[in-house]
């Protein structure tokens, strides 16, 4: 451990407070989904290198992403891993998928994919 004289002080980065618009949007989302059984939701989260799914029962498949992910690559990942994660995690029938509002995830092409595969998506 370095001597005390070598320790550096750090300040947390300042974050903007929510605007009135964002507060209304958050409240609207909360009211819309307050009766949703959140144990039936399959969550997704991604970084530049991985995409993972998680539920209240634990993590699903973690997919390593090579290169830049576009809509086509996103659909291939969904085709290969989404239903498999839902089955493995035993979320049951009628599960709902939650994803970020990234353009490749909200594109008409992706919305059609979810409709064609009869997968409900949390709208926010």
User: Is 22 a member of any domain?
Assistant: no
What is the extent of the structural domain holding 88?
Answer: 37-121
Residue-wise pLDDT for 34-73, tens only, equals 999 988 888 887 776 677 788 888 888 888 888 888 888 8
User: Is 18 a member of any domain?
Assistant: no
Q: What does the pLDDT read at residue 27?
A: 94
User: Is 108 a member of any domain?
Assistant: yes
User: Is 51 a member of any domain?
Assistant: yes
CATH number of the CATH domain containing 111? 3.30.420.10
Least confident of 4-18, 30-44, 110-124: 4-18
Indicate the pLDDT class of residue 115, thresholds 50, 70 and 90.
Answer: very high
Residue 53: other Cβ atoms inside 10 A:
26
In the chain, the number of structural domains is 1
User: Is 116 a member of any domain?
Assistant: yes
User: Is 29 a member of any domain?
Assistant: no
């Amino acid at each position: 451990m370095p001597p005390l004289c070598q320790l550096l002080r750090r300040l947390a980065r300042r974050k903007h407070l929510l605007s009135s618009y964002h507060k209304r949007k958050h409240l609207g989302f909360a009211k819309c989904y307050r009766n949703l059984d959140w144990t039936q939701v399959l969550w997704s989260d991604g970084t530049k290198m991985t995409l993972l799914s998680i539920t209240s029962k634990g993590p699903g498949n973690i997919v390593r992403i090579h290169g830049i992910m576009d809509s086509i690559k996103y659909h291939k990942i969904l085709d290969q891993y989404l239903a498999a994660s839902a089955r493995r995690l035993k979320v049951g029938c009628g599960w709902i998928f939650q994803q970020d509002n990234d353009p490749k995830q909200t594109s008409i092409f992706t919305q059609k994919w979810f409709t064609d595969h009869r997968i409900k998506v949390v709208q926010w």
